[in-house]
Structure 1
């Protein structure tokens, strides 16, 4: 028997690992899977994104404050490779309400989304991803549910919103009433003649667990097992399937609906992988039903175990009497989902199993921290004191949210710990994930193991790894921000042709000037924009020899068109009818009307001017760049202004006479 237990967190190369154990040459079964595993994780590193918000439910008119964390999926340490983080704010009808590009610095970024006081109430989701994450499955992008409440919305809601809300509620109600049932044999297959442990899940179409009961019968109608949900629609039973026999389950859901569900086919020969999580140890049992003549040549097996791509355990052994048993200390694996795979003598995967390891060495994000309040210069200053046990975390990043006393905070159920250790590796939204991690008692360990048995590993497939197939990398990382756009003539059917384009981008203290030439179709790209905070980008189009006027369009080329994902947290859209005091236009300034009395406004005595309020003012004393003419200042500093042939053009055609000259110029 050759066994390797990797005690270091750092992932070593396959050659180093295999040389640790005496007599383990790495030339047996393990050479193929271990080398394929190493090759994949060296060439296709993964990332995880977490968005922490100050709360999960907002009133229209409030601000969503966002703290973003980007980490390596293997180490959970800050990822410093990516520079841009894309954040989408999507409504329940798949409409993009906000799109942010946050600049990452050492894996951290912050931002905000301002909600107008007439913002439609209901379900929303925050999605987040990087350029690198676009290359992989969207299921591993960050998703967070947000609920917006809009007071008095029924009295100014638009017809389109009502129609969308009604349509959404109809679909949600149908999905909630649509029952589904699935079996999950431990290891992945039913094998004849061996006791198999089978997990199952009853849920509606949005993934909410429901109660169900029933019986499993063979093709002759004989009952072989009872089915009864145990926790959140999940349950488990044992039985010994027979070769050549088909099995079905007669299921009755809690709403009275009945279904007949077929079980997976029974394999006449194979192996069953069983793992019992005892807290401090993982007891692993492999059983096979190989005949003596085949057992003599095919008894060699390989068992690999990793957590987030960190290979922690590898053992190559022989089956003895069609059986193999081993106990592994849980602390060999870091906290999180451990992924075990069983290989046959040809190095082909036979069975897989997920196990959650909780060594009680994690950091509780809701542990109370002692603090004191003191007055400094008329302000209250809060001083927080980290406990001694957290001394090693002093250099970590923390997010502080200030909310109303007694306000409900669903953030407890979905937090940075549950995402990093649980949902981010399953690729699915888990209902109440903090329930499984908040305590480590035997009952919760049992229920968490049911969650593991009803989900599979989805970050990679062993079949592709063994064949050396890597996912295609369509998008590379970028340094700074990139602007994509197209220039098209407004009143001409001719192709745009190659047109000179200039870009002035930045803030007053720091601006960059760049130039390029469009393609024949008018497309252009400016890359490497590196600014902090909010900055302006002004694009100027060169003079066209035909005198054509152009329109400039900017694209979100990397935007992923994320759609809203129905899940257990989704509620019915609140506003489906007009109120008795409905008005055609939205009612603005809700908070101002709420906090102030209705005092008639006095007529202003200020003299009336023929000039309106300027949109922008430029003070020459504030400029730190030397300009050669006033036209250069205006072209560089005024939004929407361009200088063409010595004439000032404001946003294209601006009058009925097709003139682009400003009406007033001071």
Structure 2
């Protein structure tokens, strides 16, 4: 990349000073010191970034959420990152429970998958997350996270968001408000939903004089000039609805310190850095200014702050697109001021989406061509994903985040960046100054200088995963082992059969790394110590997803048009009704053909009830894909909702507020006991609702989940008991993506009378452009006569992102 060449010869950067300030070229020892520290830190803590392209902005129960996953190295955004396993999960925001999880196999930084949102899933706000095991060494805020909303198709109106109280914060440029130094103060106001809120107000001195006024310009953000006086304290006030005045804390004035003001807007080729210092007893203070882009040193410059300050003009032509982080180091090499600037040379990929014609008819074949070029107009081979949606049902949010705005902006900042694509749209004439407000009000998140400059960097706790990890513990007589024990593993599924050997640690813990298989794998694990003693027991550790933050404020994190929502839910209800009738028709046909008479079967003594409202027969395949009994219920029984997994799962039966009564082989038990059962010991699960549960009295008021085990059956074959020292089980592997169904119409196919009002008309997650930079797709449009919207997201192997959109009419 062009900007990397500049890192080799740092002295090429021209720096000029005025205000009678002295300047000399950067010292090689300090350059080497900073470069070594950053390189060592990056070598120990390299960054990965994950991004998901979803097929649409919101969903309905019974729908399918399709996603394309991108995984990139964090500094240069190279598409092929180290990890080959990406975890994608769906978190219910109110409870923080993990509703579903996918293990996505990544190849060349790309993968895809889906979540089937069964009709038992609770409607509401969800967060979809994407992260690797390596990314778990850092806080959750480094994961890719996107809020979505799942509607129930019976909902018929949009509940308006109530703004609530406003949170207003002030940010002195460079980080400090120093007495008798004129600087700029940025501010940002957000409401209770987390969205920017327009505000206006003023600042009073302790004597009650108005010394400044402010008014937001964009999404609750703005800035104003301010000169603090020594010994003075200030208070800000905001004018609310009805003229109400609210007091807001204002930054404290520091008697001594440094300030740094950046002008990155006046000149497209250079940025001006102006630094001031107020330090008693020092007339000239040697300082360094270090600029790095995503952890790679871009320049180091040295100057002296005199009585009239220091000004440097730094060329930006060789800096990469994205955030450059400027830090002012004092004469003791301590970081004292920081400021972010955004550099945009428009080097992102150009994505042109061209339908073969501007207008189509319902169910007509549509041909699309996607052309990807670089900023110079040359074709680019790249990986891309394409979504076509019905604009009559779905309203795309204004300036919603895309892969360009995420990789270059949002992924390196604290907090949520609202309407992040706004800052990359050339039609927005004020976008550059508004983006500078973002730079002043959001901090850098990737590292702290204290950690980088530390003599010792703490070792990482989690590793890079190339495949599935099998981890567990072996015990003897329920006690930890005291010596290493040899293990033999036999792994098999429909397409794989292999034998492996390993050994435990002295405490019995064992880990098998980088297993590559899809769906599930049958495991036969056996251990033997040096004396030939096989009397061991094994426990496989289930995957423990990272904890999610609970969002307690109710809101819909989407922009929804009332009419579009009504059409969306109406069509969703119609589609589900058609699917239900097809299932019922097949069931009736099956009963008419195969059932001749009802066979009397002996009554099961474990059942107090005569019949259940629903019965789930547990098969080997069903058990192999789930870690607990409650996981098996998820999405398989209508009206039963299971959120979370394992011991954290929450179960409810539609129409009831509390959790149902849990019964094991006829005896009421705690949910924890049900969750801890071995899934392969379960024979069937009965669900009782309403009147059917009345036999259990008031305890069954919220319904009953009755679990029947194989061992509890009088006809259980005890020869099937597991041999001591041997564990036979199944483990989950990479998710096997489903193929998006796209119907085929036309004269060669029989007419289909079924109404077709897909909200997602077409989804193609794994497209590639050729040497000519082009990719082509074809599909048939739905019955809708509203316009179709097309969105394409792209990432090249060299780390260049791109985004494009288009539309066509239907009549």
TM-score normalised to structure 2 length = 0.63
The CA deviation at 1:85 is 0.9
**Residue correspondence of structure 1 range 259-658 to structure 2 within 5 A:** 259-278=246-265, 280-290=268-278, 294-296=282-284, 298=285, 300-363=286-349, 367-371=352-356, 382=367, 384-386=369-371, 392=378, 394-404=380-390, 406-408=392-394, 410=396, 413-439=400-426, 441-485=428-472, 494-495=478-479, 503-514=489-500, 524-531=510-517, 533-539=518-524, 554-557=541-544, 559-564=545-550, 570=557, 590-593=577-580, 601=588, 603-606=591-594, 653=711, 655-656=713-714
Match for residue 113 of structure 1?
A: 115
- Following the alignment from structure 1 to structure 2, what is the Cα–Cα distance between the partners of residues 572 and 601? 42
The CA deviation at 1:198 is 0.5
Residue 29 of structure 1 contacts residue 301 of structure 1 at CA under 8 Å; is this kept in 2?
no
- Following the alignment from structure 1 to structure 2, what is the Cα–Cα distance between the partners of residues 457 and 190? 19
What is the SS of the residue equivalent to 1:362?
Answer: coil
The CA deviation at 1:457 is 1.3
The CA deviation at 1:449 is 1.1
- Following the alignment from structure 1 to structure 2, what is the Cα–Cα distance between the partners of residues 177 and 149? 23
Q: Which runs of 5+ in 1 are unaligned?
A: 1-5, 155-168, 574-586, 618-638, 642-649
Match for residue 137 of structure 2?
A: 135
Residue 90 of structure 2 contacts residue 99 of structure 2 at CA under 8 Å; is this kept in 1?
yes
Residues 388 and 338 (structure 1), Cα distance of their counterparts in 2 relative to 1, 3 Å cut:
closer
| Residues 1:242 and 2:205 are matched in the alignment | no
Residues 438 and 255 (structure 1), Cα distance of their counterparts in 2 relative to 1, 3 Å cut:
farther
The CA deviation at 1:188 is 0.5
The CA deviation at 1:515 is 5.3
TM-score normalised to structure 1 length = 0.76
Residue 288 of structure 2 contacts residue 303 of structure 2 at CA under 8 Å; is this kept in 1?
yes
- Cα deviation, 1:173-221, whole Å, max 9, x if unaligned, reads 7xx5233221100111112212111111222344322232222112222
Q: 2:219 aligns with which of 224, 229, 232?
A: 232
The CA deviation at 1:605 is 3.5
Match for residue 579 of structure 1?
A: none
Residues 243 and 406 (structure 1), Cα distance of their counterparts in 2 relative to 1, 3 Å cut:
same
- Following the alignment from structure 1 to structure 2, what is the Cα–Cα distance between the partners of residues 659 and 500? 31
| Residues 1:9 and 2:4 are matched in the alignment | yes
Deviates more, 1:25-34 or 1:352-361: 25-34
Residues 321 and 570 (structure 1), Cα distance of their counterparts in 2 relative to 1, 3 Å cut:
same
| Residues 1:53 and 2:54 are matched in the alignment | yes
- Following the alignment from structure 1 to structure 2, what is the Cα–Cα distance between the partners of residues 128 and 433? 19
More relative contact order, 1 or 2 (CA 8 Å, 6+ apart)? 2
Residues 291 and 185 (structure 1), Cα distance of their counterparts in 2 relative to 1, 3 Å cut:
closer
The CA deviation at 1:413 is 0.5
The CA deviation at 1:415 is 1.1
Residues 141 and 607 (structure 1), Cα distance of their counterparts in 2 relative to 1, 3 Å cut:
closer
Q: Between Structure 1 and Structure 2, how many residues are aligned?
A: 586
Residues 440 and 452 (structure 1), Cα distance of their counterparts in 2 relative to 1, 3 Å cut:
farther
What is the SS of the residue equivalent to 2:263?
Answer: strand
Residue 19 of structure 1 contacts residue 25 of structure 1 at CA under 8 Å; is this kept in 2?
no
- Following the alignment from structure 2 to structure 1, what is the Cα–Cα distance between the partners of residues 77 and 117? 32
Residues 483 and 178 (structure 1), Cα distance of their counterparts in 2 relative to 1, 3 Å cut:
farther
| Residues 1:76 and 2:77 are matched in the alignment | yes
- Following the alignment from structure 2 to structure 1, what is the Cα–Cα distance between the partners of residues 541 and 54? 29
Residues 468 and 138 (structure 1), Cα distance of their counterparts in 2 relative to 1, 3 Å cut:
farther
Match for residue 41 of structure 1?
A: 42
What is the SS of the residue equivalent to 1:67?
Answer: strand
- Following the alignment from structure 2 to structure 1, what is the Cα–Cα distance between the partners of residues 288 and 189? 34
Residues 501 and 310 (structure 1), Cα distance of their counterparts in 2 relative to 1, 3 Å cut:
closer
Residues 271 and 322 (structure 1), Cα distance of their counterparts in 2 relative to 1, 3 Å cut:
farther
- Following the alignment from structure 1 to structure 2, what is the Cα–Cα distance between the partners of residues 70 and 321? 49
Residue 38 of structure 2 contacts residue 296 of structure 2 at CA under 8 Å; is this kept in 1?
no
Residue 219 of structure 1 contacts residue 245 of structure 1 at CA under 8 Å; is this kept in 2?
yes
The CA deviation at 1:463 is 2.5
- Following the alignment from structure 1 to structure 2, what is the Cα–Cα distance between the partners of residues 488 and 608? 53
What is the SS of the residue equivalent to 2:282?
Answer: helix
Residue 62 of structure 2 contacts residue 119 of structure 2 at CA under 8 Å; is this kept in 1?
yes
- Following the alignment from structure 1 to structure 2, what is the Cα–Cα distance between the partners of residues 662 and 348? 69
Residues 190 and 526 (structure 1), Cα distance of their counterparts in 2 relative to 1, 3 Å cut:
same
Q: Which runs of 5+ in 2 are unaligned?
A: 16-23, 561-573, 602-615, 622-678, 682-707, 722-811
Residue 356 of structure 2 contacts residue 369 of structure 2 at CA under 8 Å; is this kept in 1?
yes
Residues 11 and 131 (structure 1), Cα distance of their counterparts in 2 relative to 1, 3 Å cut:
farther
- Cα deviation, 1:562-603, whole Å, max 9, x if unaligned, reads 235579863799xxxxxxxxxxxxx99655137799899355
- Following the alignment from structure 2 to structure 1, what is the Cα–Cα distance between the partners of residues 248 and 80? 45
Residue 125 of structure 1 contacts residue 146 of structure 1 at CA under 8 Å; is this kept in 2?
yes
- Following the alignment from structure 1 to structure 2, what is the Cα–Cα distance between the partners of residues 289 and 400? 52
Residues 552 and 464 (structure 1), Cα distance of their counterparts in 2 relative to 1, 3 Å cut:
closer
The CA deviation at 1:406 is 3.5
- Following the alignment from structure 2 to structure 1, what is the Cα–Cα distance between the partners of residues 340 and 316? 13
- Following the alignment from structure 1 to structure 2, what is the Cα–Cα distance between the partners of residues 107 and 659? 49
Residue 654 of structure 1 contacts residue 661 of structure 1 at CA under 8 Å; is this kept in 2?
no
Residues 33 and 259 (structure 1), Cα distance of their counterparts in 2 relative to 1, 3 Å cut:
farther
Residue 353 of structure 2 contacts residue 369 of structure 2 at CA under 8 Å; is this kept in 1?
no
Residue 33 of structure 1 contacts residue 347 of structure 1 at CA under 8 Å; is this kept in 2?
no
What is the SS of the residue equivalent to 1:406?
Answer: coil
Q: CA RMSD in A?
A: 4.4
- Following the alignment from structure 2 to structure 1, what is the Cα–Cα distance between the partners of residues 497 and 241? 64
What is the SS of the residue equivalent to 1:435?
Answer: helix
What is the SS of the residue equivalent to 1:467?
Answer: coil
The CA deviation at 1:542 is 7.3
The CA deviation at 1:75 is 0.5
- Following the alignment from structure 2 to structure 1, what is the Cα–Cα distance between the partners of residues 401 and 180? 42
Residues 661 and 467 (structure 1), Cα distance of their counterparts in 2 relative to 1, 3 Å cut:
closer
Residues 212 and 8 (structure 1), Cα distance of their counterparts in 2 relative to 1, 3 Å cut:
closer
Deviates more, 1:183-192 or 1:115-124: 115-124
Residue 90 of structure 1 contacts residue 564 of structure 1 at CA under 8 Å; is this kept in 2?
no
